[in-house]
Each structure stands twice: as C-alpha cells, then as structure tokens.
Structure 1
Amino acid sequence: MEAILVYTTFPNWESAKKVVKELLERKLAVCANMREHEAMYWWDGEIRDEKEIGVILKTEVSKWKELRDTIRELHPYEIPVIARIDLDKLNREYSEWMARVLFG
C-alpha cells in the first residue's frame, strides 16, 4: 500500500463538505482533514485576502488520477490547487485500515 496525501482548498464549508462527502462515498479517499484559514493570493491582477477551507485527503496512489479528475469535475474554483504529497513512511496499522476501506 502506497499512501499519499492530496491537498486542495475550497471557498467555503458547504462546498468543501459536499465534495469531500462525494469523494468518500466513491472510496477515492479514506479521510479528510478540513480547516479554515486565511489565504492571500493573486487573482485577476490583484492580491486577494479571503478565508478558504484547506482540505487534506488521505488515499492510496492507485486512486490518484481518479481522485484528481473527480476533484476537477466537482470543484467550484476555475483553477483549483490539487497537490499530491507522497509519503515516505506511514504506520502499518493506519496503512492496513486504509487498505480495508479503499479495497476491502
């Protein structure tokens, strides 16, 4: 089992929960950690300062492409960040639980 994290952001709790629930129902991820934070970024030639919901999804590398494509399909942003973070190590118990959820 090769676990990865996938990071993305949403404009609000409603859209984050809606997309995350769909990803979980499709068994594209086993868990999501969501947190509100301040985001500053360039958009349309100006610096924006807004609240966003950051989401870290836990999944397996074989789910990456379908997960990425599904996020793109469901995401409210025109250009969402969808970042894959490869894990060097993960405890065995958690890895086994992930495998049971995703493939069991």
Structure 2
Amino acid sequence: MNRGTRMNCLMVFCNVPDEITARHIAHVLVQEQLAACVNILPSCQAVYRWEGALQEGSEYPLLIKTTAAAYAALEQRLQALHPYDVPEIIALPVAQGLPAYLTWVSSEVVSREC
C-alpha cells in the first residue's frame, strides 16, 4: 500500500442519542457501502451549550471508517438519518494504520456523487 491509500481513509466521529439510532445508522451506512465499518461505543455523558442553555445527556459515539472520496455522500446520508438539527459529524484523515486494514476499508467503500 502506498501513502495515497492511507491518506484516502477517514475516521468520522458522530454521536447519536440512543442505541436504536446508533444501530440503524451503522447498518445503513455499511449496507449502502458509505462506510466499511461502524463501531458503536458505550453510552457516554455529554455536556454542551445549545441555543444559549447548558445541556447534559447521554449519547452513543459512532466511529465510522470511510474514504475521502465517499465523505460527501456519507455526510449527506448521515445528516438525513440523524435526529439532531445539527449533528456532530467530524472527519479526521488516517495518517497511519495497518496497510491491509486500510486497503480493506478502501475496497469496502463505494465512492459516489451527492
């Protein structure tokens, strides 16, 4: 694998309000080949300011493995599936990783136009 393939992979973070939503989004993203894999982490507490008021609640973090070429379509689909008005969707490039794993991620994700 060359450096270009590694740079092609992204780790996308997104929190959702409950386990049912987490499972639904994970299944859709993988079935539609927008993500190679989605890890659903255990519930965590979030403290944040929304519309001028302090908020607190539990959320389920999703770790979504995808490619840069599929990111725009993934973001659009994730936003459509997400119940929040402004969902947390943050993508970071994968700088290093096991070459065989990153090749697998790239092969499982289908690039498409939005």
Match of 1:4 among 6, 10, 14: 10
Tell me, which stretches of 5 or more residues in structure 1 are unaligned?
A: none
Query: Shift in Å at residue 60 of structure 1?
Result: 1.1
Q: Which of the residues 59, 66, 85 maps onto 2:73? A: 66
> TM-score under structure 1 normalisation?
0.92
Matched with 1:40 is 47
Dislocated runs of 4+, deviation >4 Å: none
Determine what percentage of the aligned residue pairs are the same residue. 23
Number of residues of Structure 1 aligned to a counterpart in Structure 2? 103
Q: Find the aligned partners of 2:38 and 2:75 in 1 and give their Cα distance.
A: 14
User: Which residue of the partner structure matches residue 51 of structure 1?
Assistant: 58
Question: Is it true that 1:29 corresponds to 2:35 in the alignment?
Answer: yes
- Root-mean-square deviation (Å): 1.2
Q: How far off its partner does 1:91 sit?
A: 1.4
Moved more, 40-49 or 55-64: 40-49
TM-score normalised to structure 2 length: 0.84
Which residue does the alignment assign to 1:87?
94
Summarize deviations over 1:6-54 as a string: whole Å, max 9, x none: 1111010111111111111100001111221100011232211110011
Q: Report the 3-state secondary structure (helix = DSSP H, G, I; strand = E; otherwise coil) of the residue aligned with 1:6.
A: strand
